[in-house]
Structure 1
Amino acid sequence: METWKERGARVVRKVGAITIGQSPRVDVVPEMKEILGENIEIIEGGALDGLTQEEIAALAPGPEDYVLVTRLRDGSSVRIAERYIVPRMQTQIDKLVAEGAEIIVLLCTGEFPNFSSSKLILKPQVILHHFTSGIATGRRLGVIVPDKDQVEQARARWAGVGEVLRVEAASPYGPREEIWRAASSLKEWQAEVIVLDCIGFNLQMKREVNQHTGVPVILPRTVLARTLQELLS
């Protein structure tokens, strides 16, 4: 199957986007497309697509699980255990490659094992980690994750990236006040760089955290979109 098609004089490239929740991610993909432009088409799949509320509830994390937070199609958020959804993510990767995607991107900043595919798979967590490492060396690094049960995970993941580290919890899917509280805490701590460590944080949230703290703020979805742009231009 062709991985591109011509529309008039334009060549359109296909990117497959996998969310750990339900597709379409109307809260994420439109902002990425503004950066990518009209010549890149995003086709989507979700690890929780087709599941009932009861089936999704059965994927909740236990005490020892790696916790992930994601969005459902109705706009609500859920907590799920990584181990339950990795096989479902692989199924979606295979599906989107069959539909013509030439690159796969994961719409989640969590840590995942390697997936099997003949196409490139972009993991935002890896890209974000290296991008931030190149900026935050010798700086006070602040990180905001969606859930309090992810704080220790994040401390382990971001350890050593900056000179010192502080992690706060505030969900992009919850009350906006949580984000401002986390930003205020990082400002008081004197963070010099802040990472919004979830694909659910949007451009408006980034701008407001930047205005509130006065320091550079790194947003995963835009870092990911610009990486795609580099690979496909």
Structure 2
Amino acid sequence: MPSTSKIAFVTIGQTPRIDVVPEMMTEICIGLPEGRVEFREFGVLDGLNLAELDAMRAVDGEHSFATRLKSGQEIVTSKARTEEKLNVLLGQIDKQGFDLVVLLCTGTAIDPLENTLVVEAQRIVDSTVEALAASSRKLGVILPLERQVKDFADRHVFSGEPKFVAASPYAGDDMGERAKTLEGCDLIVMHCMGYSAGMLDEVRRAVDAPVLLSRRVVAGVVRQMI
């Protein structure tokens, strides 16, 4: 890597992701000299008007994502339409000379890029979960939306039956209260990049088990790559 690493953070929502990127950059840059890492943010929903945003919303029965608008409001988007726009955006970013693209979503399918290495949050988090779950007696998973539970179960096969709970990081859900339903699990995964360190603390106070925070897992990988 060069003396200055250039990172593109890509969200399926709108930028700036003040709820995610500053916290991740703090962890990535611990002990590094000032200016060692530069970054820019890109959002799939950036620049869309109200009608265009409405066209991105998921309909009943459709695979979906929960993400954040610039205003801080939650929006639930169509997985298919989001991924279509995401791949176009990534193709544009690939030509801009970044060292890494960090994808801030744990559920997307993307096309390979020609010039830039992608840190794909979903693959990193899912692989870590599967590795740790191999020795877990009871896995607990926190997801943003109830409708995402089936999607998660379809992607993973575990020896036991995981327990799931839906709690949105964007809609003001009480993380601690929701997490109490996971009592008895010996490993809990907060499976969304929108979950913060503060939300992690709420879950840890509610349940006596190790808790894996997606953004910290991804930040740790990025740190090793720069």
Q: Which residue of 2 aligns with 1:8?
A: none
Q: Deviations 1:134-184 (Å, cap 9, x if unpaired)?
A: 222131110011111111112222331x6331111110112242x223201
Normalising by structure 2, report the TM-score. 0.90
Q: Quote the Cα distance in structure 2 between the aligned partners of 1:168 and 1:85.
A: 24
- Residue pair 1:20, 1:85 contacting (<8 A) in 2 also: yes
Identity %: 30
Distance 1:63 1:115, change over 3 A: farther
Q: Report the 3-state secondary structure (helix = DSSP H, G, I; strand = E; otherwise coil) of the residue aligned with 1:68.
A: strand
Q: Which residue of 2 aligns with 1:186?
A: 182
Q: Which residue of 2 aligns with 1:19?
A: 11
Instruction: Report runs of 4+ in structure 1 exceeding 4 Å deviation.
Output: none
**Does residue 36 of the first structure (1) align with residue 28 of the second (2)?**
yes
Stretch moving more, 85-94 or 35-44: 85-94
**Does residue 159 of the first structure (1) align with residue 157 of the second (2)?**
yes
Q: Quote the Cα distance in structure 2 between the aligned partners of 1:181 and 1:61.
A: 27
Q: Which residue of 2 aligns with 1:220?
A: 214
**Quick one: which of 135, 139, 142 aligns to 1:141?**
139
| Structure-to-structure mapping, 1:1-233, within 5 angstroms | 11-37=3-29, 38=34, 39-139=36-136, 140-160=138-158, 163-177=160-174, 179-187=175-183, 190-232=184-226
Gaps of 5+ in 1: 5-10
- Residue pair 2:8, 2:102 contacting (<8 A) in 1 also: yes
- Cα deviation, residue 74, structure 1: 0.6
Gaps of 5+ in 2: none
- Residue pair 1:47, 1:88 contacting (<8 A) in 2 also: yes
Stretch moving more, 131-140 or 73-82: 131-140
Q: Quote the Cα distance in structure 1 between the aligned partners of 2:161 and 2:108.
A: 22
Q: Which AA in structure 2 matches 1:60?
A: R
Q: Quote the Cα distance in structure 2 between the aligned partners of 1:227 and 1:211.
A: 26
Q: Deviations 1:187-222 (Å, cap 9, x if unpaired)?
A: 1xx111111111100001112211210111111111
Q: Quote the Cα distance in structure 1 between the aligned partners of 2:24 and 2:110.
A: 24
- Residue pair 1:159, 1:165 contacting (<8 A) in 2 also: no
Normalising by structure 1, report the TM-score. 0.88
Q: Quote the Cα distance in structure 2 between the aligned partners of 1:115 and 1:70.
A: 23
- Cα deviation, residue 62, structure 1: 2.8
Q: Quote the Cα distance in structure 2 between the aligned partners of 1:127 and 1:45.
A: 20
Q: Quote the Cα distance in structure 2 between the aligned partners of 1:199 and 1:167.
A: 17
Q: Which AA in structure 1 matches 2:25?
A: K
Stretch moving more, 216-225 or 89-98: 89-98
The two structures, once aligned, show a CA RMSD in angstroms of 1.7
